[in-house]
Structure 1
Amino acid sequence: MPRQDKAAVRAVLDAVPAGGRRALTAPEAKVIADAYGIPVPAEALAECADDAVALADRIGFPVVLKIVSPDIVHKTDAGGVRVGVASPADVRTAFTSIVASARAYSPDAVIRGVQVQQMVPSGTEVLVGTVTDPTFGKIVAFGLGGVLVEVLKDITFRLAPASRDDALSMLDSIRAAEILRGVRGGAAVDRAALASLIVAVSELAADFPEIAEIDLNPVFASAGGVMAADVRILLDPVPAVRRRTYSRTEILASMRRLMEPRSVAVIGASNEDGKIGNSVMRNLVDGGFAGEIHPVNPRADDILGRKAYKSVMDVPGEPDVAVFAIPAKLVASALEEVGRKGIPNAVLIPSGFAETGEHALQDEIVAVAERHGVRLLGPNIYGYYSTWQDLCATFCTPYDVKGGVALTSQSGGIGMAILGFARTTKTGVSAIVGLGNKSDLDEDDLLTWFGEDPHTQCIAMHLEDLKDGRAFVEAARATVPKKPVVVLKAGRTSAGARAAGSHTGALAGDDAVYEDILRQAGVIRAPGLNDMLEYARALPVLPAPRGDNVVIITGAGGSGVLLSDAIVDNGLSLMEIPPDLDAAFKAFIPPFGAAGNPIDITGGEPPSTYEATIRLGLEDPRIHALVLGYWHTIVTPPMVFAELTARVVAEFRARGIEKPVVASLAGDVEVEEACQYLYERGVVAYPYTTEKPVEVLGAKYRWARAAGLLT
């Protein structure tokens, strides 16, 4: 890449009057483009028609003419563009017409002249740009460009600055990626040049925070290189307010005391049934928490058989956590005492803060906490569960089934859905945490902790927004190589309708950005609540695949077709069965069955046929994952199928051969018990669905790729 001239860019930006215009002029944008090696046409500014003719003659016909005005951002809308101007006479006419159209469009606009520009060589029209996203900061965009860009919306996003690998991945991430490779005899575009352009634009945006948006549209990409026909740069001189950040060491230290406390104070503890403070105390006591529990209530001497304290200042020692069960208006003063006491964590159950419009009250408690170094969980939450500590610090129903799944939710209602699902499916959890308003602690803090927690094998998070998208991505990237992260992002509606000064800005709707950036971070995005919960339940059960070859073994041809569809829908690969393996499978199935893939053993086969084909699928190293389709028959009842499958999988596991095995069971209600039996023994099985088992297998594959386990 060419050397960057940051001083030239700084000179242009510093020359823009403070608090003045937002858009750079075309000549200013060209200086910046040249400074960062962004290929743009030869051009110059003409202040009169004679200048325009002279410049066109020097640049060479045909040329493009564009109005230059700091007050006119969308030149085409103002009639301020003429393309393919081929003679001196046409230049004069175009100059006069452009200026007249611009004055009619915006009578008060300052017009500095007309830009005379070299005609750009033909090529595929693409867009490269950047925006400042409220969640993720600077992001770079790439997609099809031209006049239909906002109609087609074929665009992808990455964090800026983007690496060369990021840029190359963007070329393959749009729906029209095949066009860039060359179709119908056309030459492929210069991918290296296009990737370099994406990197340069992303670095420009990252290097200068006051650049709000960059829009290169169209960029003409061809086998000979790339050239941006139009460069639009918008400024935002107001710097973003940065949140307080904590180091990884600080996060882990405070989170350890939150999730593994030795002493808990309950502020607002009560003896009165129906009170939140009573429910929290009962859950802590009845849940078997082995640490100290200190109720705090100025009007009680004893709560649930434990000494009560008038103030948290009277509590002996230094508790690790203070759980608040008092009205919102009393929180700030009590939090002052918590801070003076040196308690590092406050769990704020009360509602009545920002979620109800009381932003000032929430700002006050955040200021108090920051002054004393207290980390806040909440407010407006149901509390949290840390099952391996027998800690149930919540006013909701208790849960104590220990396991490897950590679940978080921004919503209390979703938190209770998580609880019900865990109970119904017997899912063991390491923690369930409510985040509520996220006044302080949020998903990146929890990811940092759960990424290191030996009890946690998989993390699933429901979120409505992210306070600091970059911090989340950083935490996710550190966690994903070790364990899967599943995210349910609520709210898919676009924010593209907000005021945007460029095509890139208009295309950067919330969900489009979240979709690409979450994928870039390596997390698995779940389409719905049940999907998130099923992924979280299944991923710790399934071993990681070691290759792409998936084989379907089914007793029902119809199920095999649907399972094949699901394989394609989830981006998986049906193995092309080699002749020797095909012959090996045929040896076990009747003549009217079908080898190939799916392998249809037919529904009337005895248990021995299921067992023989499953054994072969596990034995052959060329097969990397098995999808089983069972059909309920009297010949092979559901529990017989479940028991033989679990036995064979366990036998191979004992031999060191582990492959992901998922199953779809079609039949009467007995298949429900068979599925539960299989699940508990390492085979992810579902009744009445061919889609769900393949979806969770697809999620496991997505994690394996993100974790670098598959190329």
Structure 2
Amino acid sequence: MADVVPRDPNSGPAATPGPGAAPYPAGWEADVVLTDGTTTRLRPIRPDDADALQAFHVAQSERSTYLRFFASLERLPDRDLARLVTVDHVTRVALVVVTGSPDVGEPERIIGVARYDLVEPETAEVAFNIADAHQGKGLASVLLEHLAAAARERGVRRFVAEVLPQNGRMIAVFKEAGYEVRQRTEDGVVQVTFDIDPTERSLAVAADREHRAEARSMRALLTARTVVVVGPGDEPGLELTARQAQRVVAGLAAEARAGRLTVHAVGVGDGPDLRDGVRHHARIGDVPPSVELAVVALPAARVLDAARQLGALGVRGLVLVSGGFAEAGPEGLARQRLLLGVAHGAGMRVVGPSSFGLLATHDGTTLDASLTLRPPPPGRIGMFCQSAPIAVTLLAAVGRRGLGLAQLVSAGHRADVSGNDLMQFWGEDDDTDVVALYLESIGNPRKFSRIARRLSAHKPVVVVTAGRSGHVVPPGHAVRPTRAPRRTLEEVLRQSGVVRVENLHQMLDVVQLLAHQSLPRGRRTAVLSSSTGVAALVVEAAAAAGLVVTGRVEMLGEDAAPDEVADAVGRVYGDPDVDVVIVVRIPTLGGADQVVAREVAQAAARTGRTTVACMPDLHGVTPELTAEGPDGRARTVPAYAAPEDAAVALGHAARYAAWRAVDRGRPVQPAGVDTRAAGRLVARLLATSGATDGSPLALDPGQAADLLAAAGVHVWPSVRVRDADEAVAAAERLGWPVAVKTTVPALRHRADLGGVRLDVADEAELRADVAGILALAGDQDPRPDGPPLEVQAMAPHGVACVVRSTEDPLFGPVISLGVAGDAADLLGDVAYGVPPLTDVDVADLVRTPRAAPRLFGYRGLPALDVAALEDLVARVSVLADALPDVRSLELNPVVVSPHGLAVLGAYASVAPADRADAARRLARP
């Protein structure tokens, strides 16, 4: 117990880092969002924090000091102050939460401290202290999450804490974190003990805390009622930023005149359209405090100072419409990081740089803090985009279609606020029914997948990406590089349940359907058409979109009387075997058919049958195709320019409805997976490798087998041999029959080329096969390291598969499965998954390759043990998800037989990794 931080700092020796001290762990630094929606910075403590820690201690109430140290203590003695700020980042770790930004001359203030001290192997005592003024914001929970993550990196398995009984709030933090807490009382002190390995509940608790905090931070921006716009004044050469500032003020002025917004302006012209209702000021310091939102249009060099002054006003969000940051090169990226330091240190979120701004309607008030000339009408669609020019295009298209928006946020270069933040908000927003995202880059795909899956479970999310692969990164976007296959992003989006579309036009096609019609009950499709030729095209388009035309194709001539129209529509909507309806009414003389439009709109609203239409002169959301449903809510049949567009949108909606109706399973947790033991093995291998350049360390077969054994995966043993005599001896030890293989890379696993000989039953046959393989491999280049042959006991016959995992800097772990063979390699017949996976994800992964039917009794052969293969994939996914230092893992071949499987080869490499943590918000690629 000698290293425990004493409750009374007047006892115990002063500490200095020992020889085992680690370098300052910059990777533990984080920008975090608190439960009140504000931001702050978290980092390891440093020796130069002594004055700030003393100031923090002195400012605490007597009660808080007593609960922390079990004694009254006005000041920390110098000796013990030095001890508290001097840690080795291994056995003694301390994290602080700070406000302020010293990079721009603002002193940091400590508002929270958490520390652990190792008391025995794998056990550490923890202590927390939160500033009185900042209690109730979730600081202790955030510190516990980060301290536990740091402790796990250092091999700590459990935390203990001694807490006074009256400190119920701290005990509640431990219990509410989702850990299994054990407590006992001795000598009037409660001792709390809990393991810190993540559990399903602790992960859910952390995700829920993050969700509520980020949603609240976005709500503060989108429901702001006090806004300040900062422009450059009339300084020559800054006409663009001046016009931007004036455009924003003009958009806010109408609501300001109506008294629904309070709008301040600094450095913005005060022409007739900018004067009424807007309060102009000469300097930011003249603006009254308690401003909620700031819109800044300034040269990049002046933004930092403006942000510092705005933080002092209590601003919660800063929308930066001007550029000159990360897209301007290294100097601009450094300026962007300083900006985030200033903003987050003051509790502000940043939208931009190079943002088009934001639009939001809430409780009858429209907040138009954007550069648009004509905002769209209010609606129930939430929209997010990154590029400002794309925002212009989107708003124009939204206007042409008559769509209404609940919110539009343009993140620009996405230095801080991202689509993930907005999805967190939309998950809680009752005013939004449908979400649409235009993404030029995804900075944290793992977090995106988790949040999108949660949101998609109850609201449709329609996504279009600037590039299909995720490999293209626009200038100004701080995104890690990726080595993942180009289909990885597609798999991330598929697992997330989002509706992925090809372009902006298609995105709006789908959005207008999902916003104004019920979800399809199925794929059975009826067609109501004005001509047989058009009907045939519609049937083909529907089939191509994944719909099923049931045979209900109703013809309606151009000269049909109103009663004939009503009868035809009634037959279509009265058919119980119809789920969705496509109406194509194109009279040769042109013009909309008001009778057909009215009958279709009323039938669709009355029955709730999902309907799309293609009719001349009607596009998007129109009054002609709107009718009131039984619930009194107006519903509109969306109109499309072409029947193919309507069918594609309907197909996307049907697939999404099917995804949402199916149970997506639970995270896989195979029994016998000991990720902690695997982590200790990897740490030991890295520590003894001597490698300092971060290059991967290839494991030998025994090490790879040990790594997989920790995950409950058995690798069949094999013996490396040099000649026939050693091969025979190995076969005698392993037992006949055996397989003999070359270790030459070009021929490894190639039975078709003679590099593998199977079912070798006796010595004579083995000697002959050894001679043949050696002759075949003799001319190969490169030659193998070590013995050229490998002997292994013969596994039961079955289908050979390959299971791989790769740690990618951007996507994290990527799992793949293919049926072994040239066809799979040449045709790319490989399925991908991104952990964490559910049991449903694993089942889908195994069934996705085109060659997967070979596992299920292909052409009369017996069905194989697919459950064993799913179990193997689950174990590999859990191992890869838990251990980012496992750079690559390949199980090849995995022979799946009717009863079980055999892992016959395993290859692995390890290297230190820096996986993007979902809780970190630093602008570092």
Pairwise same-fold verdict (TM > 0.5): yes
Query: In the alignment, is residue 281 of structure 1 matched against residue 249 of structure 2?
Result: yes
CA displacement, residues 19-50 of structure 1 (integer Å, 9 cap, x when unaligned): xxxxxxxxxxxxxxxxxxxxxxxxxxxxxxxx
- The correspondence of residues 567-582 of structure 1 with structure 2, limited to 5 A, is 567-575=542-550
From 603, 610, 626, the equivalent of 1:660 is: 610
Q: Residues of 2 paired with 1:325 and 1:419: CA distance?
A: 21
Give TM-score, length-normalised by structure 2: 0.44
Determine helix, strand or coil for the equivalent of 2:494.
helix
| Change in 2 beyond 3 A, CA 1:528/1:268 | same
Contact preservation (8 Å) 1:269, 1:280: no
Partner of 2:846: none
Q: Residues of 1 paired with 2:619 and 2:505: CA distance?
A: 20
Q: Residues of 1 paired with 2:380 and 2:470: CA distance?
A: 35
Query: In the alignment, is residue 625 of structure 1 matched against residue 580 of structure 2?
Result: yes
| Change in 2 beyond 3 A, CA 1:345/1:637 | closer
Contact preservation (8 Å) 1:269, 1:295: no
Determine helix, strand or coil for the equivalent of 2:584.
strand
Letter in 2 for 1:390: T
| Change in 2 beyond 3 A, CA 1:270/1:484 | farther
Letter in 1 for 2:213: E
CA displacement, residues 501-560 of structure 1 (integer Å, 9 cap, x when unaligned): xxxx999334x1111211110111110111112222221111122233222232311111
Determine helix, strand or coil for the equivalent of 2:379.
strand
Q: CA deviation at 1:299?
A: 10
Query: In the alignment, is residue 641 of structure 1 matched against residue 590 of structure 2?
Result: no
Partner of 1:374: 348
- The correspondence of residues 456-471 of structure 1 with structure 2, limited to 5 A, is 456-471=432-447
Determine helix, strand or coil for the equivalent of 1:405.
strand
Partner of 2:265: 295
From 280, 290, 304, the equivalent of 2:275 is: 304
From 355, 371, 375, the equivalent of 2:327 is: 355
Q: Residues of 2 paired with 1:546 and 1:606: CA distance?
A: 31
Letter in 1 for 2:612: V
Q: Residues of 1 paired with 2:572 and 2:371: CA distance?
A: 49
- The correspondence of residues 529-548 of structure 1 with structure 2, limited to 5 A, is 529-548=504-523
Q: CA deviation at 1:264?
A: 0.9
Partner of 2:338: 364
| Change in 2 beyond 3 A, CA 1:420/1:506 | closer
Q: CA deviation at 1:620?
A: 3.1
Q: Residues of 1 paired with 2:442 and 2:208: CA distance?
A: 14
Letter in 1 for 2:244: I
Query: In the alignment, is residue 615 of structure 1 matched against residue 578 of structure 2?
Result: no
Q: Residues of 1 paired with 2:435 and 2:381: CA distance?
A: 6
Contact preservation (8 Å) 2:230, 2:296: yes
Q: Residues of 1 paired with 2:328 and 2:358: CA distance?
A: 22
Letter in 2 for 1:282: A
Contact preservation (8 Å) 1:460, 1:532: yes
Q: Residues of 1 paired with 2:233 and 2:662: CA distance?
A: 52
Contact preservation (8 Å) 1:298, 1:310: no
Q: Residues of 1 paired with 2:620 and 2:394: CA distance?
A: 24
**Across the two proteins, how many residue pairs are aligned to each other?**
434
Contact preservation (8 Å) 2:361, 2:367: yes
Partner of 1:424: 400
| Change in 2 beyond 3 A, CA 1:293/1:245 | farther
- The correspondence of residues 103-182 of structure 1 with structure 2, limited to 5 A, is none
Partner of 1:252: 215
Partner of 1:693: 646
Q: CA deviation at 1:705?
A: 2.1
Partner of 1:324: 296
- The correspondence of residues 195-214 of structure 1 with structure 2, limited to 5 A, is none
Q: CA deviation at 1:449?
A: 0.9
From 536, 549, 554, the equivalent of 2:524 is: 549
From 434, 452, 461, the equivalent of 2:410 is: 434
| Change in 2 beyond 3 A, CA 1:649/1:686 | closer
CA displacement, residues 398-450 of structure 1 (integer Å, 9 cap, x when unaligned): 31411111222111111011111122121111111111111111001011112
| Change in 2 beyond 3 A, CA 1:636/1:287 | closer
Q: CA deviation at 1:287?
A: 4.7
Query: In the alignment, is residue 343 of structure 1 matched against residue 296 of structure 2?
Result: no
Determine helix, strand or coil for the equivalent of 1:564.
helix
Contact preservation (8 Å) 1:301, 1:309: no
Partner of 2:553: 598
What is the CA RMSD across the aligned residues, in angstroms? 3.5
Contact preservation (8 Å) 2:470, 2:489: no
Q: Residues of 2 paired with 1:636 and 1:606: CA distance?
A: 16
Partner of 1:157: none
- The correspondence of residues 41-52 of structure 1 with structure 2, limited to 5 A, is none
Q: Residues of 2 paired with 1:636 and 1:442: CA distance?
A: 44
Q: Residues of 2 paired with 1:253 and 1:674: CA distance?
A: 33
Partner of 1:522: 497
| Change in 2 beyond 3 A, CA 1:674/1:383 | closer
From 333, 336, 361, the equivalent of 1:387 is: 361
| Change in 2 beyond 3 A, CA 1:338/1:631 | closer
Letter in 2 for 1:693: A
Letter in 2 for 1:336: R
Q: CA deviation at 1:362?
A: 1.0
CA displacement, residues 154-196 of structure 1 (integer Å, 9 cap, x when unaligned): xxxxxxxxxxxxxxxxxxxxxxxxxxxxxxxxxxxxxxxxxxx
Contact preservation (8 Å) 2:294, 2:318: yes
Unaligned runs of 5+ in 1: 1-206, 210-243, 497-504, 576-595
- The correspondence of residues 474-553 of structure 1 with structure 2, limited to 5 A, is 474-492=450-468, 495=471, 508-510=484-486, 512-553=487-528
From 518, 536, 558, the equivalent of 2:533 is: 558
| Change in 2 beyond 3 A, CA 1:453/1:687 | closer
Q: CA deviation at 1:250?
A: 1.7
Determine helix, strand or coil for the equivalent of 2:573.
helix
Contact preservation (8 Å) 1:298, 1:311: no
Q: Residues of 2 paired with 1:381 and 1:322: CA distance?
A: 13
Letter in 1 for 2:655: R
| Change in 2 beyond 3 A, CA 1:391/1:641 | same
Q: Residues of 2 paired with 1:336 and 1:574: CA distance?
A: 62
Q: Residues of 2 paired with 1:261 and 1:366: CA distance?
A: 21
Q: CA deviation at 1:301?
A: 13
Q: Residues of 1 paired with 2:565 and 2:591: CA distance?
A: 9
Partner of 1:472: 448
From 390, 402, 409, the equivalent of 2:378 is: 402
CA displacement, residues 184-215 of structure 1 (integer Å, 9 cap, x when unaligned): xxxxxxxxxxxxxxxxxxxxxxx999xxxxxx
